[in-house]
Structure 1
Amino acid sequence: MSQVVFVLVPGLHLLDLAGAAQVFSTAAEYGHDYRPTYVAEHEQITTHQGVTLLATKQWPDLTPDDLVVVPGWSVRPGTTNGHLQQQTLDRLTAHHTAGGTVASICAGADALGRAGLLNGRRCTTHHDIQHTLARRYPLAEVIPDVLYVTDGRVVTSAGIASGIDLALHLVATHHGPAAAARVARQMVVYARRNGNDSQQSAMLRHRAHLSDAVHRVQDRIETDFKEQLPLTDLARTAGISERTLTRRFESATGSTPLRYQQLLRLERAEHLISHGATIESAAHSVGFTDARMLRRLRSRPH
């Protein structure tokens, strides 16, 4: 990705916008090419919290590598309408048709529904309006009580802070788990993965501890999870003995360094498979010498 275009709607929730925007801004500070742009149908947008934002009515030229995000807005019970004009909805559709990714946060899913992008796709939104969204767009499969869902370059997330999880997921997808972990740690948040539950992503599921040595080893594994990582090298990274590292790592994370690396490989492979890769190519891409180990890991209960 390069450009991240946020489509602002009157009454939008500040955190729906600010959370995701902060992720991409922080990623840009770490050298990743994200350039946020804020467009709207009016140059001034008043948020639900009373802050007035300035936007441009002129859309930038988009490429398939760019991302368009529709943050959510305040809705009355039983409604979701963001009052976007058809011209704006057509831009969402055209970008997706051209190969681009379109995302929504909270009630922003209604805009994707009006644009026809939810038809035949899995999606989600804030729990208060899940039933309304499902009723308005019966061709969509609304998944309840998940943080975000990816389906065919359409990414939808639940309300408010889950926009952060969505943005971190996109950073991890394009730049690897270490990049997303670095951004998340800077923002002092956790990242989670999509699916039919609220399960946390492996890359940050085991980060709620205070061991600097273990965090350094996790950083190393997340950066080089495709490579062979001997315990001696990881112990050298931590500055402690192999035996001490094993003990501290298991105490802090409940896992061994090897199992942690396998979790990262498995999650990345699952993402590749969900986007059309074969098991064999996914296994090779994440560092397995063949697909047998990946098949064994996929068959285990999580």
Structure 2
Amino acid sequence: MHTVAVLALDKVVPFDLATPIEVFTRTRLPDGRPAYRLRVCGAAPSVDAGAFTLQVPWGLDGLSGADTIILPGCAELTEVPREVLDALRDAAARGARLASICSGAFVLAATGLLDGRRATTHWAGAAALAARHPAIEVDPDVLYVDNGQFLTSAGAAAGLDLCLHLIRRDHGSAVAADAARLSVMPLEREGGQAQFIVHDQPPVPRGSALEPVLSWLEDNRAKELTLEDVAAYAGMSTRTLNRRFREQTGSTPLQWLLRARVRQAQYLLETTDRPVDLVATEVGFGSVTAFRERFKRVVGTSPHGYRAAFRRTAP
């Protein structure tokens, strides 16, 4: 039987810890037998889980012989104990599969096993992971990354996506689909974690020369605007306008405008029943095709997919 070890370190995130425990212990093979044997392991017998203290039945010796090791996220993690890193490296050397949930990617990254590979984590921690481990190609837009032996996933619910993916790899789609139904979860979700990120525009210092220009762009985003139109309103040359925008927002005027249109489209898709082509027109896109392409590039899913995920009753 396939053995899954879940490693609980101090400040472990309870949700990340519980997800693999629930999913793997409930998974059944077609004949009704359990698909997995599960161990909860720790570097110490007692683990601080924030709201409670967890007594773990296995030490790091429980990692030996495990076919898969899951690394849940930790609310605080300054340094991974050396004995933990050594145990994970030893497990990898004998061929064990290592998978992280949310900030558990920082633990896996500390082993060096992700160097030269693509990985993900919660979008809020992606920049920190990339800065701390520059040898890793961090992708903040996906729900999980499968490198074969090493897998990483984004925050919270993406851990469930990862577990279902592992079940499908081990036992096929039928067993994974049953596990997904027990979790009231689709076997595959459309899009990546980009759809869950609030795409606010970069802040502009109060009193900046661009402040009235940005307000004007917000008010006129539904109109067909050219760079020359924006420069004329700002009283600047197009070259100066582009330079000021890059200095103060990190993007060009037209990129900023497109993002503002997408942000407004997200609001309309969430709060109204207007058809997608009408939403595209209302926020300023000349064609619905251009709108769909830009929306998917920014948000990571289609307008229809976004509405299905985030639709709420219109006020």
Is TM > 0.5 for Structure 1 vs Structure 2?
yes
Aligned residue in 2 for 1:160: 156
Kept in 1, the 8 Å contact 2:25–2:34? The answer is no
Query: Counterparts of 1:27-176 in structure 2 under 5 Å?
Result: 27-28=27-28, 30-48=32-50, 50-55=51-56, 56-60=58-62, 62-63=64-65, 66-75=67-76, 81=77, 83-176=79-172
- CA, structure 1 residues 58+121, in 2 after alignment: closer, same or farther (shift >3 Å)? closer
Shift of 1:54: 1.1
Query: TM-score with structure 1 length normalisation?
Result: 0.59
Kept in 2, the 8 Å contact 1:13–1:160? The answer is no
Kept in 1, the 8 Å contact 2:5–2:63? The answer is no
Kept in 1, the 8 Å contact 2:122–2:154? The answer is yes
Kept in 2, the 8 Å contact 1:4–1:69? The answer is yes
Between 184-193 and 132-141, report the one with greater CA deviation.
184-193
The structure with the largest alpha-carbon Rg is: 2
Shift of 1:197: 4.3
- Counterpart secondary structure, 2:62: coil
Provide structure 1 residue ranges, at least 5 long, that are not aligned to the other structure. Answer: 76-80, 200-302
Aligned residue in 1 for 2:173: 177
Provide structure 2 residue ranges, at least 5 long, that are not aligned to the other structure. Answer: 195-315
Kept in 2, the 8 Å contact 1:67–1:103? The answer is yes
Percent identity reads 35
Q: Which runs of 4+ in 1 moved over 3 A?
A: 196-199
Query: Could you say what the CA RMSD is over the residues aligned between the two structures, in angstroms?
Result: 2.4
Residue by residue over 1:160-218, the C-alpha shift from the partner in whole angstroms, topping out at 9 and shown as x without a partner, is: 12111111000001100110110110121123379x9469xxxxxxxxxxxxxxxxxxx
CA distance in 2, matches of 1:66, 1:132: 30
- CA, structure 1 residues 168+89, in 2 after alignment: closer, same or farther (shift >3 Å)? same
- CA, structure 1 residues 151+74, in 2 after alignment: closer, same or farther (shift >3 Å)? same
CA distance in 2, matches of 1:140, 1:174: 26
Between 115-124 and 86-95, report the one with greater CA deviation.
86-95
CA distance in 1, matches of 2:111, 2:9: 15
CA distance in 2, matches of 1:113, 1:148: 15
- CA, structure 1 residues 130+108, in 2 after alignment: closer, same or farther (shift >3 Å)? same
- Counterpart secondary structure, 1:131: helix
Aligned residue pairs, count? 192
Kept in 1, the 8 Å contact 2:41–2:63? The answer is no
Query: TM-score with structure 2 length normalisation?
Result: 0.57
Kept in 1, the 8 Å contact 2:144–2:162? The answer is yes
Shift of 1:84: 2.4
